[in-house]
Amino acid sequence: MIMKILLMGGVGNRLFQISYGLSASQQKSIVLITLPRYIEKFASLFGWAYHQEWINIKDLCLKLNLNNRTANLIEIFIIFAMFFLRKISSKFSKEIDIESLSTERYLFDFAIGYFQKPYYHKKEELKKIIGELSKIYRNDHSKYSCIHIRGGDLAIDDRLKDDFIKNIDYKNNLKIVTNDVVYAKNLLSDVDAKIFSNKDPADDFKVICNSKLLYISNSTYSFWASCIVFQNGGRVIFAEDFYLKDFFKFLDYDA
C-alpha cells in the first residue's frame, strides 16, 4: 500500500511534513497529497488555516524525488472524515514515528499531522531539505545581524519576551524582519533600527537566511531560516522556550 501524507498549514509546517515523507520513503512508497486551493479557502470558513504558499512546493518535491499531487474527490472525503474523527477521539490523531512505520499503519494509510519532533525524521533526509532551501535563499555574502519578529497571527504567549528583546545587540548592523510592522515598532519603540517588511514572505525569508547572526521568533518560519544560517556557519540565538530547539541538537548544530 502507498502511504499518503497530507501537506497542510503554512510553508513551515509543510516542510516538516515533506521531511517526514522523505524519511518515510526509505521504508515505504509514499505520496504527498495537497488539497485543492479552492477547498482550503472554503475550509478556512470553518477554522482551517489558509496560508500563502510562498515556496514552490512542487519544485522542491521534484528535487527530492518525492511524488506530490492534488487530492482526488475520494481522498478529499477521507481527509475531512479523518478531521471529524480526530475531534471525536485523540486515537485518530496519532503520528507514527519513523522507527515504528515498519510495524504500525495509519488509518486508511493516510498520515495527517505536523511531525514537529526529531523522532519523526531521519537526520540525513532533514538536512537534504535544508540544503535545497539553502541553494535557493542563501546567496548574499554581506555580513549583518537579523532579528525575526513574528506578530500577526502568533499567540501572545508565544511571542518574544521582554528579557529576550533587551539582550539583543541593536548596534551590530541589525536588520529587523517582521510580518507585523505596527507590533514590531511598538515592541522596539526605543530602538533606532530599520524594519524590513516586503509584504512578501519569500523576500523576508531570504533576508533572514542570509544573516550571520540571527535572533529568532517562536515559529516554524524562523526555524527553517535558522537551520540555513546554522548550516552556513552562522550563529542563531533563541529563547529558552523555543519549542523546536531539540532539532538543533538532533542536527548537530552548535546551538
Does 115 score more than 70 pLDDT?
yes
**Per-residue model confidence as pLDDT tens digits over 85-109:** 888 877 778 899 999 999 999 989 9
pLDDT band at 214 (very low <50, low <70, confident <90, very high): very high
Q: How many Cα atoms sit within 13 Å of 206 on the Cβ side?
A: 14
Does 123 score more than 90 pLDDT?
yes
- The mean per-residue pLDDT over the stretch 192-220 comes to 87
Angle at 6 between CA 62 and CA 103, to 5 degrees: 100
Residues 6 or more apart whose CB falls under 8 angstroms from that of 49 comprise: 9, 10
Q: What is the pLDDT of residue 1?
A: 81
Cell 542536527 locates to 251
User: In terms of pLDDT, which residue wins out, 47 or 233?
Assistant: 233
- The mean per-residue pLDDT over the stretch 167-188 comes to 82
DSSP 112-164: -S---SGGGS-HHHHHHHHHHHHHHH-------EEEEE--TTS-GGGSPPHHH
Q: What is the pLDDT of residue 49?
A: 67
pLDDT band at 5 (very low <50, low <70, confident <90, very high): very high
Instruction: Please state, in angstroms and rounded to a whole number, the distance separating the CA atoms of residues 119 and 137.
Output: 27
**Per-residue model confidence as pLDDT tens digits over 183-195:** 888 887 777 667 7
Q: What is the pLDDT of residue 163?
A: 81
Q: What is the pLDDT of residue 28?
A: 93
**Per-residue model confidence as pLDDT tens digits over 74-87:** 999 999 888 888 88
pLDDT band at 172 (very low <50, low <70, confident <90, very high): low
